[in-house]
Amino acid sequence: MSGLLALGLISALSASTINLPAPHAPGQRLALHCITPAHANGRSVLFVHGASFPTMLAFGFEFAPGDSWMSHMARQGYLACGLDFLGFGASSRPSAMANPAGDAAPVTRATEAAQEIAVAVDYLRQTRGMRGVHLVAHSWGTIPAATFAAEHPGTLASLTLFGPVVAKPGAQAEAVPGAWWSITAEARSRQLRFKDVLPAGLTLLEPAVVSKWAAAFHASVPHVEGDRPDELRIPAGPAADIDAVTATGVYPYDPADIKVPVFVVYGDYDTVTDDAGASALLAKFSNSPLKWRMRIDHGTHVMHLERNRHSLYQGVDAFIHATEGQQR
Protein backbone atom coordinates (compact mmCIF):
# COMPACT_ATOMS: atom_id res chain seq x y z
CA MET A 1 0.00 0.00 0.00
CA SER A 2 1.43 3.38 -0.94
CA GLY A 3 2.07 5.98 1.73
CA LEU A 4 -0.52 8.35 0.24
CA LEU A 5 -3.18 5.63 0.17
CA ALA A 6 -2.43 4.65 3.75
CA LEU A 7 -2.67 8.30 4.81
CA GLY A 8 -6.03 8.56 3.04
CA LEU A 9 -7.40 5.54 4.91
CA ILE A 10 -6.22 6.91 8.25
CA SER A 11 -7.65 10.38 7.67
CA ALA A 12 -11.00 8.93 6.58
CA LEU A 13 -11.56 7.55 10.08
CA SER A 14 -13.08 9.76 12.75
CA ALA A 15 -12.26 9.15 16.43
CA SER A 16 -14.29 10.37 19.40
CA THR A 17 -14.99 9.61 23.07
CA ILE A 18 -18.56 9.52 24.34
CA ASN A 19 -19.49 9.84 28.01
CA LEU A 20 -22.27 7.52 29.16
CA PRO A 21 -23.94 7.25 32.60
CA ALA A 22 -22.79 4.46 34.90
CA PRO A 23 -26.04 2.62 35.75
CA HIS A 24 -25.02 1.47 39.22
CA ALA A 25 -23.09 4.61 40.19
CA PRO A 26 -25.18 7.81 39.84
CA GLY A 27 -23.13 10.81 38.81
CA GLN A 28 -20.25 8.78 37.43
CA ARG A 29 -19.48 8.35 33.75
CA LEU A 30 -18.28 5.64 31.42
CA ALA A 31 -15.94 6.45 28.52
CA LEU A 32 -16.75 4.84 25.19
CA HIS A 33 -14.01 5.40 22.61
CA CYS A 34 -15.22 5.05 19.01
CA ILE A 35 -13.70 5.16 15.54
CA THR A 36 -16.28 5.89 12.86
CA PRO A 37 -15.56 4.52 9.37
CA ALA A 38 -15.88 6.58 6.23
CA HIS A 39 -18.12 3.93 4.67
CA ALA A 40 -20.20 2.32 7.42
CA ASN A 41 -21.75 -1.12 7.05
CA GLY A 42 -24.36 -0.53 9.76
CA ARG A 43 -22.71 -2.87 12.26
CA SER A 44 -20.42 -2.34 15.23
CA VAL A 45 -17.62 -4.09 17.08
CA LEU A 46 -17.49 -3.36 20.82
CA PHE A 47 -14.22 -4.19 22.58
CA VAL A 48 -14.00 -4.67 26.36
CA HIS A 49 -10.67 -4.80 28.18
CA GLY A 50 -9.16 -7.00 30.87
CA ALA A 51 -8.26 -6.62 34.53
CA SER A 52 -5.48 -4.06 34.65
CA PHE A 53 -5.34 -1.64 31.70
CA PRO A 54 -7.97 0.22 29.66
CA THR A 55 -9.14 0.13 26.06
CA MET A 56 -6.71 2.64 24.61
CA LEU A 57 -3.78 0.64 25.99
CA ALA A 58 -5.24 -2.52 24.43
CA PHE A 59 -7.51 -2.53 21.38
CA GLY A 60 -6.97 1.17 20.73
CA PHE A 61 -3.20 1.17 21.25
CA GLU A 62 -1.56 2.67 18.16
CA PHE A 63 1.58 0.87 17.01
CA ALA A 64 1.87 3.62 14.40
CA PRO A 65 -0.57 6.39 13.46
CA GLY A 66 -3.85 4.74 12.48
CA ASP A 67 -2.57 1.25 13.29
CA SER A 68 -4.67 -0.33 16.05
CA TRP A 69 -7.15 -3.19 16.26
CA MET A 70 -9.99 -0.66 16.50
CA SER A 71 -8.74 1.14 13.37
CA HIS A 72 -8.46 -2.21 11.59
CA MET A 73 -12.15 -2.91 12.21
CA ALA A 74 -13.19 0.63 11.26
CA ARG A 75 -11.43 0.30 7.92
CA GLN A 76 -13.71 -2.67 7.23
CA GLY A 77 -16.78 -0.52 7.75
CA TYR A 78 -17.55 -1.29 11.39
CA LEU A 79 -18.20 1.36 14.00
CA ALA A 80 -15.32 0.26 16.26
CA CYS A 81 -15.73 1.15 19.92
CA GLY A 82 -13.93 0.28 23.15
CA LEU A 83 -15.40 0.68 26.62
CA ASP A 84 -13.43 1.74 29.70
CA PHE A 85 -15.00 0.10 32.74
CA LEU A 86 -15.55 2.22 35.82
CA GLY A 87 -12.20 2.86 37.50
CA PHE A 88 -10.19 2.51 34.27
CA GLY A 89 -8.88 4.85 31.59
CA ALA A 90 -11.11 7.84 30.86
CA SER A 91 -14.03 6.58 32.96
CA SER A 92 -14.79 7.89 36.46
CA ARG A 93 -12.96 6.56 39.50
CA PRO A 94 -15.30 5.36 42.26
CA SER A 95 -14.78 7.21 45.54
CA ALA A 96 -13.49 4.00 47.16
CA MET A 97 -10.39 4.25 44.98
CA ALA A 98 -9.43 7.53 46.64
CA ASN A 99 -9.54 6.00 50.11
CA PRO A 100 -7.43 3.29 51.76
CA ALA A 101 -7.92 -0.03 49.95
CA GLY A 102 -9.11 -1.81 53.07
CA ASP A 103 -12.02 0.59 53.57
CA ALA A 104 -14.24 -0.96 50.88
CA ALA A 105 -15.00 -4.12 48.93
CA PRO A 106 -13.28 -4.75 45.58
CA VAL A 107 -14.29 -2.15 42.99
CA THR A 108 -15.80 -3.14 39.60
CA ARG A 109 -17.03 -6.72 39.84
CA ALA A 110 -18.14 -8.58 36.72
CA THR A 111 -21.85 -8.23 37.45
CA GLU A 112 -21.47 -4.44 37.64
CA ALA A 113 -19.30 -4.39 34.52
CA ALA A 114 -22.01 -6.33 32.66
CA GLN A 115 -24.40 -3.46 33.41
CA GLU A 116 -21.84 -1.06 31.96
CA ILE A 117 -21.62 -3.13 28.77
CA ALA A 118 -25.42 -2.93 28.58
CA VAL A 119 -25.25 0.87 28.55
CA ALA A 120 -22.68 0.82 25.72
CA VAL A 121 -24.62 -1.72 23.64
CA ASP A 122 -27.84 0.27 24.11
CA TYR A 123 -26.04 3.38 22.89
CA LEU A 124 -24.76 1.57 19.81
CA ARG A 125 -28.13 0.04 18.97
CA GLN A 126 -30.50 2.86 19.89
CA THR A 127 -28.50 6.07 19.44
CA ARG A 128 -26.16 5.01 16.64
CA GLY A 129 -28.64 2.68 14.94
CA MET A 130 -26.34 -0.34 14.69
CA ARG A 131 -28.26 -3.38 13.44
CA GLY A 132 -25.60 -5.78 14.71
CA VAL A 133 -23.09 -5.56 17.59
CA HIS A 134 -20.16 -7.99 17.79
CA LEU A 135 -18.72 -8.09 21.31
CA VAL A 136 -14.99 -8.84 21.61
CA ALA A 137 -13.66 -9.28 25.16
CA HIS A 138 -10.22 -9.99 26.61
CA SER A 139 -9.18 -11.86 29.76
CA TRP A 140 -11.27 -10.81 32.79
CA GLY A 141 -13.47 -8.81 30.39
CA THR A 142 -14.78 -12.11 29.01
CA ILE A 143 -16.61 -12.69 32.32
CA PRO A 144 -18.80 -9.54 32.25
CA ALA A 145 -19.13 -9.87 28.47
CA ALA A 146 -20.61 -13.36 28.72
CA THR A 147 -22.70 -12.28 31.71
CA PHE A 148 -24.19 -9.51 29.57
CA ALA A 149 -24.82 -11.91 26.68
CA ALA A 150 -26.63 -14.35 28.98
CA GLU A 151 -28.79 -11.62 30.53
CA HIS A 152 -29.68 -9.84 27.26
CA PRO A 153 -30.64 -12.42 24.62
CA GLY A 154 -31.13 -11.07 21.14
CA THR A 155 -28.92 -8.00 21.56
CA LEU A 156 -25.61 -9.30 20.15
CA ALA A 157 -24.54 -10.63 16.78
CA SER A 158 -21.61 -12.61 18.23
CA LEU A 159 -19.37 -13.03 21.25
CA THR A 160 -15.58 -13.42 21.04
CA LEU A 161 -13.71 -14.53 24.16
CA PHE A 162 -10.00 -13.76 23.72
CA GLY A 163 -7.81 -15.37 26.39
CA PRO A 164 -10.82 -16.15 28.63
CA VAL A 165 -10.45 -16.94 32.32
CA VAL A 166 -10.84 -20.71 32.84
CA ALA A 167 -10.72 -23.07 35.78
CA LYS A 168 -7.30 -24.28 36.91
CA PRO A 169 -7.28 -27.67 38.67
CA GLY A 170 -5.81 -27.32 42.15
CA ALA A 171 -6.04 -23.52 42.22
CA GLN A 172 -7.41 -21.89 45.35
CA ALA A 173 -9.15 -18.54 45.60
CA GLU A 174 -7.23 -15.90 47.52
CA ALA A 175 -8.89 -13.18 49.56
CA VAL A 176 -8.67 -9.82 47.77
CA PRO A 177 -7.67 -7.31 50.47
CA GLY A 178 -9.79 -4.34 49.46
CA ALA A 179 -11.11 -1.94 46.87
CA TRP A 180 -7.95 -1.60 44.80
CA TRP A 181 -4.40 -2.83 44.32
CA SER A 182 -1.37 -1.02 42.98
CA ILE A 183 1.48 -1.51 40.54
CA THR A 184 3.96 0.68 38.69
CA ALA A 185 3.73 1.16 34.95
CA GLU A 186 7.24 -0.21 34.50
CA ALA A 187 6.43 -3.34 36.49
CA ARG A 188 3.26 -4.00 34.45
CA SER A 189 5.19 -3.38 31.25
CA ARG A 190 7.80 -5.97 32.28
CA GLN A 191 5.03 -8.49 32.94
CA LEU A 192 3.81 -8.08 29.36
CA ARG A 193 7.07 -9.62 28.12
CA PHE A 194 6.33 -13.02 29.74
CA LYS A 195 10.04 -13.78 29.99
CA ASP A 196 9.36 -16.56 32.51
CA VAL A 197 7.03 -18.27 30.01
CA LEU A 198 8.63 -17.79 26.59
CA PRO A 199 11.69 -19.72 25.42
CA ALA A 200 14.98 -17.93 25.95
CA GLY A 201 15.57 -15.34 23.25
CA LEU A 202 11.96 -15.23 22.01
CA THR A 203 10.48 -11.73 22.13
CA LEU A 204 6.89 -11.24 21.02
CA LEU A 205 5.96 -7.69 22.04
CA GLU A 206 5.77 -5.14 19.24
CA PRO A 207 8.60 -2.56 19.43
CA ALA A 208 6.09 0.27 19.94
CA VAL A 209 4.82 -1.45 23.09
CA VAL A 210 8.34 -1.76 24.46
CA SER A 211 9.11 1.89 23.75
CA LYS A 212 5.93 3.76 24.70
CA TRP A 213 3.33 1.56 26.41
CA ALA A 214 4.55 2.09 29.99
CA ALA A 215 4.47 5.89 29.69
CA ALA A 216 0.97 5.75 28.23
CA PHE A 217 -0.20 3.45 31.04
CA HIS A 218 1.28 5.77 33.66
CA ALA A 219 -0.56 8.71 32.10
CA SER A 220 -3.88 6.83 32.01
CA VAL A 221 -4.23 6.55 35.80
CA PRO A 222 -4.90 9.53 38.11
CA HIS A 223 -2.54 9.78 41.06
CA VAL A 224 -3.69 10.07 44.66
CA GLU A 225 -1.94 12.47 47.01
CA GLY A 226 0.30 10.56 49.38
CA ASP A 227 0.99 7.67 47.00
CA ARG A 228 4.44 7.12 45.56
CA PRO A 229 4.81 9.07 42.28
CA ASP A 230 4.96 5.84 40.28
CA GLU A 231 2.14 4.00 42.09
CA LEU A 232 -0.99 3.27 40.03
CA ARG A 233 -4.26 2.27 41.72
CA ILE A 234 -6.19 -0.46 39.87
CA PRO A 235 -9.73 -1.68 40.71
CA ALA A 236 -9.57 -4.99 42.58
CA GLY A 237 -12.92 -6.39 41.47
CA PRO A 238 -11.47 -8.07 38.38
CA ALA A 239 -8.80 -9.83 40.46
CA ALA A 240 -11.50 -11.13 42.81
CA ASP A 241 -13.52 -12.46 39.86
CA ILE A 242 -10.48 -14.12 38.29
CA ASP A 243 -9.52 -15.85 41.54
CA ALA A 244 -13.06 -17.14 42.04
CA VAL A 245 -13.43 -18.54 38.51
CA THR A 246 -9.93 -20.01 38.42
CA ALA A 247 -10.48 -21.87 41.70
CA THR A 248 -14.09 -23.02 41.19
CA GLY A 249 -14.86 -22.93 37.48
CA VAL A 250 -18.14 -21.23 38.40
CA TYR A 251 -19.11 -18.13 36.43
CA PRO A 252 -21.69 -15.46 37.34
CA TYR A 253 -23.78 -16.55 34.34
CA ASP A 254 -25.13 -19.75 32.83
CA PRO A 255 -23.39 -20.43 29.48
CA ALA A 256 -26.49 -22.30 28.31
CA ASP A 257 -28.37 -18.97 28.33
CA ILE A 258 -26.13 -17.60 25.57
CA LYS A 259 -27.66 -18.18 22.16
CA VAL A 260 -25.28 -16.26 19.88
CA PRO A 261 -22.18 -17.56 18.08
CA VAL A 262 -19.20 -17.89 20.45
CA PHE A 263 -15.49 -17.84 19.57
CA VAL A 264 -12.72 -18.76 22.01
CA VAL A 265 -9.26 -17.65 20.80
CA TYR A 266 -5.93 -17.72 22.63
CA GLY A 267 -2.19 -18.07 22.14
CA ASP A 268 -0.07 -21.16 22.69
CA TYR A 269 1.84 -19.37 25.48
CA ASP A 270 -1.28 -18.04 27.21
CA THR A 271 -0.98 -18.50 30.98
CA VAL A 272 -4.68 -17.87 31.69
CA THR A 273 -6.18 -20.12 29.01
CA ASP A 274 -5.01 -23.54 27.81
CA ASP A 275 -6.39 -26.17 25.43
CA ALA A 276 -8.20 -28.17 28.11
CA GLY A 277 -9.69 -25.12 29.78
CA ALA A 278 -10.76 -23.51 26.50
CA SER A 279 -12.41 -26.73 25.31
CA ALA A 280 -14.22 -27.22 28.60
CA LEU A 281 -15.46 -23.63 28.61
CA LEU A 282 -16.68 -23.72 25.02
CA ALA A 283 -18.55 -26.98 25.64
CA LYS A 284 -20.68 -25.18 28.24
CA PHE A 285 -22.23 -22.94 25.57
CA SER A 286 -24.69 -25.65 24.67
CA ASN A 287 -27.22 -23.39 22.94
CA SER A 288 -24.82 -21.38 20.81
CA PRO A 289 -25.59 -21.89 17.08
CA LEU A 290 -21.89 -21.65 16.15
CA LYS A 291 -18.86 -22.41 18.30
CA TRP A 292 -15.29 -21.87 17.20
CA ARG A 293 -12.03 -22.44 19.06
CA MET A 294 -8.61 -21.37 17.77
CA ARG A 295 -5.12 -21.48 19.25
CA ILE A 296 -2.58 -19.20 17.58
CA ASP A 297 1.09 -20.15 17.75
CA HIS A 298 3.59 -17.68 19.21
CA GLY A 299 1.09 -15.71 21.25
CA THR A 300 0.79 -14.97 24.96
CA HIS A 301 -2.10 -13.61 27.00
CA VAL A 302 -1.44 -10.17 25.47
CA MET A 303 -1.26 -11.30 21.87
CA HIS A 304 -3.09 -8.11 20.80
CA LEU A 305 0.14 -6.23 21.70
CA GLU A 306 2.48 -8.67 19.95
CA ARG A 307 3.94 -9.21 16.51
CA ASN A 308 1.39 -11.94 15.66
CA ARG A 309 -1.52 -9.67 16.43
CA HIS A 310 -2.64 -9.72 12.79
CA SER A 311 -3.29 -13.46 13.05
CA LEU A 312 -5.60 -12.61 15.95
CA TYR A 313 -7.29 -9.86 13.94
CA GLN A 314 -7.79 -12.18 10.98
CA GLY A 315 -9.13 -15.00 13.12
CA VAL A 316 -11.74 -12.72 14.67
CA ASP A 317 -12.52 -11.26 11.21
CA ALA A 318 -13.20 -14.75 9.87
CA PHE A 319 -15.47 -15.59 12.79
CA ILE A 320 -17.45 -12.35 12.47
CA HIS A 321 -17.88 -12.86 8.74
CA ALA A 322 -19.02 -16.44 9.31
CA THR A 323 -21.65 -15.31 11.81
CA GLU A 324 -22.89 -12.63 9.44
CA GLY A 325 -23.15 -15.22 6.68
CA GLN A 326 -25.37 -17.34 8.94
CA GLN A 327 -27.59 -14.39 9.76
CA ARG A 328 -28.36 -13.39 6.18
CATH number of the domain that 228 lies in?
3.40.50.1820
Give the contacts of 95 (CB within 8 A, at least 6 positions apart): none
Q: How many domains does the chain have?
A: 1
Which residue in 264, 249, 280 sits closest to 312, CA to CA? 264
Q: How far apart are CA 51 and CA 54, in angstroms?
A: 8
On whether residue 89 sits in a domain, the answer given is yes
On whether residue 185 sits in a domain, the answer given is yes
On whether residue 284 sits in a domain, the answer given is yes
What is the phi-psi region of residue 232: left when phi exceeds 0, alpha when psi lies from -120 to 50, beta otherwise?
A: beta
pLDDT of residue 2: 35
Longest dimension (CA), the chain: 57
Q: How far apart are CA 154 and CA 149, in angstroms?
A: 8
On whether residue 243 sits in a domain, the answer given is yes
On whether residue 286 sits in a domain, the answer given is yes
pLDDT of residue 298: 97
Work out the end-to-end distance of the chain between its first and last CA atoms, rounded to an integer number of angstroms. 32
What range does the domain containing 142 cover? 13-327
Ranges of beta strands (E only) in 78-176 are 79-84, 132-138, 158-162
Residues in the chain with pLDDT values less than 70? 1-12, 176, 327-328
On whether residue 6 sits in a domain, the answer given is no
On whether residue 8 sits in a domain, the answer given is no
| Cα 90 → chain centroid | 15
pTM summary value: 0.94
52 neighbors 188 (Cβ within 8 angstroms): yes
pLDDT of residue 12: 63
Ranges of beta strands (E only) in the chain are 14-21, 29-36, 43-48, 79-84, 132-138, 158-162, 180-183, 232-235, 262-267, 291-296
pLDDT of residue 13: 83
On whether residue 272 sits in a domain, the answer given is yes
User: What stretch of H or E contains 285?
Assistant: none
Computed on alpha carbons and rounded to an integer, the radius of gyration of the chain in Å comes to 19
- The type of residue at 208 is A
DSSP-derived secondary structure letter, 288: -
User: What stretch of H or E contains 115?
Assistant: helix 110-122
Count the Cβ atoms, other than its own, within 10 Å of residue 172: 9
DSSP-derived secondary structure letter, 155: S
| Paired sense of beta strands 291-296 and 262-267, if any | parallel
pLDDT of residue 174: 74
